[in-house]
Each structure stands twice: as structure tokens, then as C-alpha cells.
């Protein structure tokens, strides 16, 4: 307790000396020590009513609903409404919400030309976050974070435009013209057509693929205080507008440790294939901690049990890859790797289970997305969670501007001798 910064010990002393003789250990247990410091208020954690995770039991719920049920029975648009509003929409509310989104799928014409200014080899996540920030220059009529109506309209604009922007980041990278949205299609179908269709060629979206992608967006829609979500909240806590805050979230997600895991899994599977496809020998090399050999897509900072998203994704991978003309050898390797690892004491004792990223890369690849687009897909899925978290934070009168705690570890007092 007596750490160098001394702030905590002062706070504890205050609590012990305070009226009524506070039980410090109970207080620490109840609150976590970061909440004790009166001077710094609550700077390192937050309460939230959006997503519930129990990592020991492998539970994930959005607004109380088990993710398995939502993935099976609802659509991404319904889930986005649920996250942002706290309730699933009635049929009339859903129609109204979908109509509002449809009205806003187009980008301003100037915004479309914006894409041609980036180098063709720009990473789609860099273009995505730049374009989202740029939206705030076009929609100055609704930037006030303290005006609920303005935040609502910005949220609709973002939900509507992010798939358009995402598809254009891809089109830009392959030098294709930017098609206009087709608002007769549903949310995900429109995104797939924008990404893979061409303005002059008829492109029929496969509804089976659209359904799987819709479900993957649901699975990624929120995951409580991860790196990108807490970035959105932190930036938003300064009362930065929604576009600026979401752009910060996209920046956080672009880092390989957050959004890059499924691409790393694909690389690992490809390497195993190139090395002859011997999964047992790969597992032995992992256990021997051979330099550069890592089991990707297993384990999670929070889950010490099966990530509930992983089981659903595995089923989707089977479904998606069965639509291919010729089987993907990487899927066989992935299945085998999972089977071996799950029955090996080394991984069992370390509670290393497949996570959500283990199969998603294989699915996206089968859908035709290049690896660089995987994180962009994650961002589309995560957008409603980010918006919900921003709104929850901004309307809470107890929230102050974020200021993460620092514990000073530098030199003690020194005399300056010229
Ligand atoms: C997520 O869904 O955001 C990832 O699992 C990362 C995390 O939760 O930390």
C-alpha cells in the first residue's frame, strides 16, 4: 500500500481516520484500490450497463441477453439498436431505425473525392479513421456531445456511413471506382455489394454469406472496456464529438494486439501448411517455447474459459467454408490444432481456449476480403458498442474528464546544482 507516489496511502489513511472507522480491507475489496483516492476521483475504471462478461464461466451478454441467443435470433441492426437504446426494437421501431440509416448511407460528393488523395497502398484502417474524423467537418450541425438529439443524429450518420467508407477503403486499394450505396438492400448486403460489386456489372449478394457476416458483426458489437472502447470513452470524456471519439477507437483497434489477431492466426496456419502441415510437431514447438513459434488465437485476457463467441464462429466457419468449390486446407489445420490443443494438459492447465479470432480470418478470407480489411470489418461490428459506450459516458453526470492514474517512479527530490 505504501507505494512511491504515496497517493494511495494518503487516501487509505483518510479513510481509516474518517468518521465511523471504515473497514479498509472491505473497502478495498469492494471498490478496487483505484477508486479510493479522493483527490484523483475514479480515474481508472468505470461502471457500465451495456455488456456483461464473466470470463471464468465464459459468459457474454448484451444488455442482459446472452450473445448466443442474439447471434441466432436477431440481426446486427437489432443488436445495434439494443446496445445503443437498452431495449430490442419493436417491429415499428426497427423499421424507423432502418429507414433513418438508409437515408444516410451516401457520402457527400466531396467526401468521395477525399479517398483519391491517399496513397493507393494506404492501410484501410488509416483511411477509415481519417474519413470518420473528416465527417465532423461536414456535419457541424450536430457535434454537441451534450445535446442528445445531436448525438443521436451523429450516431445514425455513423452507422449508415461506416460501411460505405469501409467499402471505399477497399475499392481505393484496388484502384476501382466507388459505387453508390443500393438502399434497396439490407445493411450487410449493401456493404457486400459496395465492396465486391462494380458500378456497371450486376452483382448478386449471396444471402448466406450476408447472414454469416451479419452474425459476425453481432459477435463483435461490444466487449466492455477493451483498448478501443476505453479510448472512445476517454477521448469522449473531454467532450470531444462522437466522430473524433470513434476515430480514436478505430486508431486503437488498428494496433496488431487489438485488431490484428485473426490475421496473425491465418499467418500461423499458412506457416504450418508450408512446413508440411504437421500440427503435432507445431504444438510440440509451441510447448518447447521455440523462438518465434506462438499459438495464435488461443487465450484471452478476460476469458479463462471458452470464449462464447469462439464456439459460434467455429460453426460459422464450417458453414462458410462448405460453400467453397475446393476446401481450404487451412481449415483442416485449424480444426486439428484446436482438437490437439484442447486435449493437451499443457494448454488445459493454462486455460488456453480458442478465442473469437481463431476462425474469423478463415471466414473473411473465404468471403474474399484481403487480410488488411479484417480489422475494418471488426470496426463495423464494434461501432454500435463504441457509440453506446460514448453515450452512456456522456450522459452520466458523475463522469469527469478522464485522467488515468500515474504512480511516480522517477528520481526523488534532487537539488539543482548548476
Ligand atoms: C474484443 O472483442 O474487444 C477483444 O476480445 C479484445 C478485448 O476484449 O480486450
User: Which ligand 1 atom is the nearest neighbour of the CA of 226?
Assistant: 9
Q: CA separation (Å) from 127 to 105, 120, 134?
A: 18, 10, 10
- Average pLDDT along the chain: 90
> Does 269 reside within a domain?
yes
Quote the DSSP letter at residue 59.
E
Mutating to test ligand 1, I would choose from 52, 54, 225, 258 the residue with most ligand atoms within 8 A of its C-beta, which is 258
Contacts of 389 (CB under 8 A, 6+ apart): 48, 50, 222, 229, 232, 233
User: Which ligand 1 atom is the nearest neighbour of the CA of 229?
Assistant: 3
For 225, half-sphere exposure in the C-beta direction (CA atoms, 13 angstrom radius) is 11
Looking at residue 7, what is its pLDDT?
47
pLDDT in tens, 4-57: 444 444 555 555 555 566 665 565 555 555 444 555 555 567 889 999 999 999
> Does 91 reside within a domain?
yes
Distance CA 170, CA 194 (A): 10
Retrieve residue 254's grid coordinates.
488498428
User: Which ligand 1 atom is the nearest neighbour of the CA of 258?
Assistant: 6
Looking at residue 15, what is its pLDDT?
54
Distance CA 195, CA 163 (A): 9
Please report the ipTM that was assigned to this predicted complex: 0.94
Q: Is 301 in the pocket of ligand 1 (CB under 6 A)?
A: yes
Domain residues for the domain of 244 are 67-409
Q: Is 225 in the pocket of ligand 1 (CB under 6 A)?
A: no
Looking at residue 44, what is its pLDDT?
61
> Does 43 reside within a domain?
no
pTM given for the model: 0.90
Q: Average of pLDDT values for 327-340?
A: 94
> Does 57 reside within a domain?
no
> Which 3 state secondary structure label does DSSP give 2?
coil
Distance CA 319, CA 132 (A): 33
> What CATH number is given to the structural domain containing 138?
1.10.580.10
Retrieve residue 170's grid coordinates.
477497399
> Does 53 reside within a domain?
no
> Does 336 reside within a domain?
yes
Q: How many domains would you assign to the chain?
A: 1
**Run of H or E residues at 51:** strand 51-54
Retrieve residue 293's grid coordinates.
513459434
> Which 3 state secondary structure label does DSSP give 61?
strand
Phi and psi, residue 294, nearest 5°: -130, 145
> Does 22 reside within a domain?
no
Amino acid at each position: 500500500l505504501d507505494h512511491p507516489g504515496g497517493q494511495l496511502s494518503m487516501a487509505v489513511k483518510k479513510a481509516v481516520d474518517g468518521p465511523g472507522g471504515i473497514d479498509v480491507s472491505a473497502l478495498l475489496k469492494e471498490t478496487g484500490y483505484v477508486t479510493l483516492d479522493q483527490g484523483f476521483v475514479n480515474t481508472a475504471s468505470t461502471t457500465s450497463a451495456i455488456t456483461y462478461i464473466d470470463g471464468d464461466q465464459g459468459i457474454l451478454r448484451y444488455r442482459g441477453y446472452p450473445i448466443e441467443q442474439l447471434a441466432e435470433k436477431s440481426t446486427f441492426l437489432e443488436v445495434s439498436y439494443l446496445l445503443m437504446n437498452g431495449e430490442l426494437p419493436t417491429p415499428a421501431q426497427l423499421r424507423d431505425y432502418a429507414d433513418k440509416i438508409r437515408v444516410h448511407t451516401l457520402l457527400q460528393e466531396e467526401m468521395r473525392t477525399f479517398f483519391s488523395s491517399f496513397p493507393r497502398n494506404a492501410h484501410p484502417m488509416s483511411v477509415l479513421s481519417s474519413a470518420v474524423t473528416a465527417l465532423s467537418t461536414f456535419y457541424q450541425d450536430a457535434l454537441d456531445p451534450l445535446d442528445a438529439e445531436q448525438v443521436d443524429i451523429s450516431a445514425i450518420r455513423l452507422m449508415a456511413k461506416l460501411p460505405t467508407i469501409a467499402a471505399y477503403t477497399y475499392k481505393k486499394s484496388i484502384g476501382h471506382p466507388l459505387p453508390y450505396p443500393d438502399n434497396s438492400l439490407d445493411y450487410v448486403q449493401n456493404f457486400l455489394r459496395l465492396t465486391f460489386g462494380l458500378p456497371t456489372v450486376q452483382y448478386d449478394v449471396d444471402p448466406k454469406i450476408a447472414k454469416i457476416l451479419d452474425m459476425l458483426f453481432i459477435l463483435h458489437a461490444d466487449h466492455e472496456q477493451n483498448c478501443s472502447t476505453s479510448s472512445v470513452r476517454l477521448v469522449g470524456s473531454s467532450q470531444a464529438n462522437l466522430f473524433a471519439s470513434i476515430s480514436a477507437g478505430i486508431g486503437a483497434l488498428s494496433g496488431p494486439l487489438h485488431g490484428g489477431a485473426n490475421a496473425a492466426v491465418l499467418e500461423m496456419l499458412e506457416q504450418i501448411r508450408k512446413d508440411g502441415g504437421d500440427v503435432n510437431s507445431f504444438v510440440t514447438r509451441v510447448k518447447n517455447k521455440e523462438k518465434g513459434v506462438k499459438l495464435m488465437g488461443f487465450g484471452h485476457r478476460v476469458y479463462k474459459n471458452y470464449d462464447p463467441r469462439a464456439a459460434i464462429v467455429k460453426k460459422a466457419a464450417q458453414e462458410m467454408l462448405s460453400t467453397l468449390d475446393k476446401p481450404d486446407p487451412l481449415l483442416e489445420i485449424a480444426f486439428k490444432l484446436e482438437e490437439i490443443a484442447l486435449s493437451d494438459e499443457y494448454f488445459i492447465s493454462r486455460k488456453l481456449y480458442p478465442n473469437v479470432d481463431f476462425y474469423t480470418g478463415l471466414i473473411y478470407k473465404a468471403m474474399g476480403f484481403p487480410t488488411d480489411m479484417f480489422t475494418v470489418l471488426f470496426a463495423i461490428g464494434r461501432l454500435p458498442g463504441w457509440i453506446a459506450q460514448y453515450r452512456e459516458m456522456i450522459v452520466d453526470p458523475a463522469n469527469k474528464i478522464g485522467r488515468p492514474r500515474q504512480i511516480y517512479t522517477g528520481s526523488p527530490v534532487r537539488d539543482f546544482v548548476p
